[in-house]
Amino acid sequence: MSKRTTMEESPEKPQAALTRVKKAIGDNCACYVLITCSKPTENGKMEVEMDFDGDEELAAFLVENASQVFDQRFIAKKLT
């Protein structure tokens, strides 16, 4: 299963870049989540996209745990 979600309407990114990422990941990967964003426009809007491949529950687990890691780092940084 593969799913692409775009947070804002805009032209699709070139599929060639996504193909290169998938090739770099290799065949032994059970699941991946790729989140990208464009540079902000003059009014501050950014295009945010998420692509994942593999089991949807596993992808959600990966994102949730990554979020916890970033939260912990953010808190640790604020405390120093």
Phi-psi region of 38 (alpha: psi -120 to 50; beta: other; left: phi over 0): beta
Comparison of pLDDT for 8 and 77, the residue scoring more: 77
Q: Residue 35 is inside which H or E element, if any?
A: strand 32-37
pTM (2 d.p.) = 0.67
Residue 2 has φ and ψ, to the nearest 5°, of -135, 140
Mean predicted confidence (pLDDT) in 43-67: 94
Mean predicted confidence (pLDDT) in 33-62: 93
Which residues sit opposite 56 in a β-bridge? Answer: none
Does residue 44 surpass a pLDDT of 70?
A: yes
Domain boundaries, the chain: 2-79
